[in-house]
Amino acid sequence: MKPKRPANTIPLDRLKGRALESLQPLLTLALEEDIGPGDLTSNVLINHDAIGEAKLVAKADGVAAGLFCIQPMFNRVDSRLQFQPKVEDGERVKPGDVLGRIRGPVRPLLTVERTLLNFLQALSGIATLTAKFVQAAAGTGVIILDTRKTTPGWRYLEKYAVRMGGAVNHRTGLHDGVLIKDNHLAVRAPQHVGETIAELIREARQRISPEIPIQVEVESIEYLEEILAAEPDVVLLDNMKPAALREAVRRRDRLFGNKGPALEASGGVTLRNIATIAATGVDRISVGALTHSAPNLDVSLEVHPASRPRPGRRAG
């Protein structure tokens, strides 16, 4: 029996690359819906050659994420806008911390303000909530994972933010792992649930590369031993109480020791109960709330006219 796989996580540099790729069409939509034919207020009130400076300021404790999106955004609106980060993605921030500074034409800066903050606040919010879940389970050795419950089109961006918060990515899509769920089972019309799930696991194992992880979702430990015997990589224990999770761990360890399939708790996980779930001995906990329920991190953009050189000093 092979050791438990921790997770099917793609390398961070590749994830960031895919996030940047997915950012481009999102920017097209976001800028078009917000700017449309033009920014009436800025165009009417702001001189076209006015140069300004700005800073992004955290208004709450959190974890920064999405700073890498800002310069590509500026390049779409006005490449004269230049962003200088003062913190890195994944860094903890507190109220008053400057996340970055901006210099360039005021009109396009004001025009892009809301789109910039929408991306930065949303991704930093995900990283911040993720960090709270990771901290709540600290010391147990459990791995915290996200899910596919992401905003359509934002998946790679949101999963990048999860990584910045210190958690691990589950599947990025249907293409990089097998997860046998209740609806797959229902279509196969099982006569004996345990036997049928085990058959599906063996069938999948025969048809795919050994490098692709196979997971199976179960809602009861009644057939757990039959399922474990089929050697999936992960058994996802869905919406089980802590007592049932502890019993599942006991049965797995009795059969396989520490080299059996990984056990993953899922469903109804909150900041209030994650420590209790982690203490049951499961290897992984998947949390949909990381991406579907994260509140935005409060960040503001403070703009002012560009500073002028002092008399007697050359501009540098």
254 is catalytic: no
For the chain, report the end-to-end CA distance as a whole number of angstroms. Answer: 65
Of 231, 238, 247, 253, which is the active-site residue? Answer: 238
What does DSSP assign to residue 296?
A: P
CA gyration radius, the chain: 24
59 is catalytic: no
Of 103, 132, 181, 188, which is the active-site residue? Answer: 181
Q: Which of 122, 121, 127, 218 is nearest to 179 (CA)?
A: 218
Of 217, 233, 264, 283, which is the active-site residue? Answer: 217
Strand-pairing partners, residue 214, are 178
Of 18, 59, 103, 149, which is the active-site residue? Answer: 149
- Environment class of 174 (CB within 10 Å of its CB; exposed 0-12, middle 13-18, buried 19+): exposed
Rounded Cα gap, residues 60 and 252, in angstroms: 43
- Residue 168 phi/psi, 5-degree rounding, is -120, 150
Rounded Cα gap, residues 102 and 109, in angstroms: 9
Helical segments of the chain, H only: 12-35, 40-45, 70-77, 106-136, 155-164, 182-187, 193-207, 224-229, 242-256, 274-278, 289-292
| Backbone φ/ψ region at 64: left (φ over 0), alpha (ψ -120 to 50), beta | beta
Of 80, 114, 254, 259, which is the active-site residue? Answer: 114
181 is catalytic: yes
Residues noted as catalytic? 114, 149, 181, 217, 238
